[in-house]
Amino acid sequence: MTTHPGALSLRRLLAGEPDEAHAAHLAGCAQCQAAIEQFKAEQTQFEAKVPFERFAAQVEARARPAARPVDRRAERRVALALAATLVVLVGAQRLWPAPTTRLKGGAGVELVVAGPAGTQRLAAEGAPEALVRGERVRIGVVPAGWHFVLVVSVDAQGAVTPIYAEGTHSLPLSGESPQFLPDSMEFTGQGLEHVVVLLSDRALDVDVVGHALRERFAAVHGELNRITTLEVPGEQFHRTFLKP
């Protein structure tokens, strides 16, 4: 049976939390001192990997209280208003003079993030992709037999916005080859935004998809990261962004 303090007790000592008994043990125990050194190295590596400014900006952005109307009718009006300001569509040719795709195999999408300085990266799957001001997102699609695409998004307050649609329904894809959707988008506002790309063999009704997305949003209690499959036909892809 060990008489050494547990790992958490040692970590607490290192964090400056008072514990006289364990501190006395530590002073005379090489094994525990070695563990402390290991935890110090872990902290050093952490600080190198996650700089404080980035850490603080992300934490503070998420910790801000949300202020949203609760009236559903008002919420719908806000959503409609946001549709005009949520994304700013800009000419894509300046960002991607020669669009290329790295999509492989069956149907798929890539959400490419382009920075003002010309850098590009793929939006992460599973975890929110943090955007900085001025970054734009463009969507690449491999149809693989699907004929229509619809892109919708929902923000942390549950406001659903159609991003790519043709009127009240999905946008027809132009042929079978991999393709980027027209233009790119720049997210405004703050907080998280969950984007869903839906490929289908017939045009989907934007209202039906919006309803399905709101249902999922409610089912996961607004945790956008947890939104997965919507109850609509076709194939779908999900990404979450942290707006600048």
Partner 1 sequence: MGRPALEVIDGGAASGRARLAKLYSTCGGAVFSRCRYLLKNPTAAEDALHEVFARALQSESGFRGDASPLTWLLKIATHHCLNVLRADAAAWHEQYRGAQLVRGEAHGGAQALEDRDTVRTSLARFDLETQQAVIHYYLDEMTLEEIARVLERSVPTIRKRLRTFADQTGEALRQGDQHTEGP
| Contact residues: partner 1, CB under 8 A | 1, 6-9, 11-12, 14-17, 39, 42-47, 49-50, 52, 55-65, 124, 126-128, 133, 188, 190, 220, 223, 225-226, 228
Residue type, 72: R
Q: Residue 99 or 188: which CB sits closer to partner 1?
A: 188
- Alpha carbon of 151 to those of 1, 9, 48, 165: distances in Å? 59, 50, 37, 7
What single-letter amino acid sits at 232?
V
Q: Cβ closer to partner 1: 4 or 147?
A: 4
Alpha carbons within 13 angstroms on the beta-carbon side of residue 27 total: 6
In angstroms, what is the minimal distance from the CB of 191 to partner 1? Answer: 11
Q: Identify the residue whose tokens are 């902290």.
A: 43
Nearer to partner 1, 33 or 45 (CB): 45
Residue 89's DSSP bridge partners are 185
Residue 151: strand, helix, or coil: strand
Nearest residue (CB) to partner 1, 46 versus 93:
46
Q: How far apart are CA 187 and CA 138, in angstroms?
A: 11
Q: How far is the CB of 244 from partner 1 (least distance, A)?
A: 9
At closest approach, how far in Å is the CB of 126 from partner 1?
Answer: 6
Least gap, CB of 56 to partner 1 (angstroms): 5
